[in-house]
């Protein structure tokens, strides 16, 4: 990534995280603790895997910049989730919806290249980050155990930032 493109990318992320990306969470019910762990793990696994696919299949600097940031953020979040889960004494339970959905999205992304990949990448990021904003927002307000609630509270603004940037990638507002 060229220095100018990197600065543009970082400026977009800074603007999104500085408050330009405030998104109201939809009214959703917070998942039970163990299912939140499964949900969050699926989101993190998707962020890392889709990011790696983007680095391999996209020539678009904006998509590649998003992917690089997503890999770093979701790798850190996965580590934080494991610590929070252990501290809360909660076992993993599959969410039942997010895990299969993200696996299907990854399979679809794995079949694409170039501009088709870029469009589908943006669309899938909109779906996953939109769900993450909704769930982390709900769990932050009415979720269960302290460590997992704090995890959701820290993840919520990051998901908002990624959702806003996905909207920009998709050309949506």
pLDDT single digits (tens) 107-144: 999 999 999 999 999 999 999 999 999 999 999 988 67
- How does pLDDT run across 72-81, given as a tens digit for each residue? 999 999 999 9
pLDDT of 19 over the 60 cut: no
Superfamily (CATH H level) for 3-170: Ferritin, core subunit, four-helix bundle (1.20.1260.10)
pLDDT of 156 over the 80 cut: yes
Instruction: Look at phi and psi of residue 19 and say left if phi exceeds 0, alpha if psi is from -120 to 50, else beta.
Output: left
Mean pLDDT across 145-150: 89
**Inter-residue contact 143 to 30 (CB < 8 Å):** yes
> What residues contact residue 164 under an 8 Å CB cut-off, 6+ apart?
16, 20, 21, 23
Distances (CA, A) of 124 to 30, 33, 53, 65, 75: 22, 25, 13, 16, 19
Q: Sign (positive/negative) of CA torsion 108, 111, 115, 118?
A: positive
The band of 91, judged by pLDDT with boundaries at 50, 70 and 90, is: confident
pLDDT of 9 over the 50 cut: no
Indicate the Cα dihedral angle 55, 56, 57, 63, nearest 10°.
0
Q: What is the pLDDT of residue 33?
A: 87
**Inter-residue contact 103 to 150 (CB < 8 Å):** no
- The residue among 173 and 81 whose pLDDT is bigger is 81
């Amino acid at each position: 990534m060229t220095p100018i493109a990197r600065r543009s990318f970082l400026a977009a992320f800074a603007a999104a995280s500085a408050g330009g990306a405030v998104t109201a969470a939809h009214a959703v019910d917070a998942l039970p603790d163990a299912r939140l762990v499964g949900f969050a793990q699926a989101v993190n696994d998707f962020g890392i895997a889709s990011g790696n696919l983007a680095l391999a299949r996209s020539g678009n600097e904006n998509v590649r910049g998003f992917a690089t940031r997503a890999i770093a953020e979701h790798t850190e979040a996965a580590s934080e989730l494991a610590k929070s889960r252990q501290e809360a004494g909660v076992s993993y339970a599959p969410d039942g919806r997010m895990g299969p959905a993200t696996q299907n999205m990854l399979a679809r992304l794995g079949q694409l290249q170039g501009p088709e990949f870029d469009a589908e990448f943006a669309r899938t990021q909109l779906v996953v980050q939109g769900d993450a904003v909704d769930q982390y927002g709900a769990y932050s307000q009415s979720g269960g155990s302290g460590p997992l609630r704090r995890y959701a509270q820290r993840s919520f603004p990051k998901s908002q930032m990624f959702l806003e940037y996905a909207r920009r990638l998709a050309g949506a507002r």
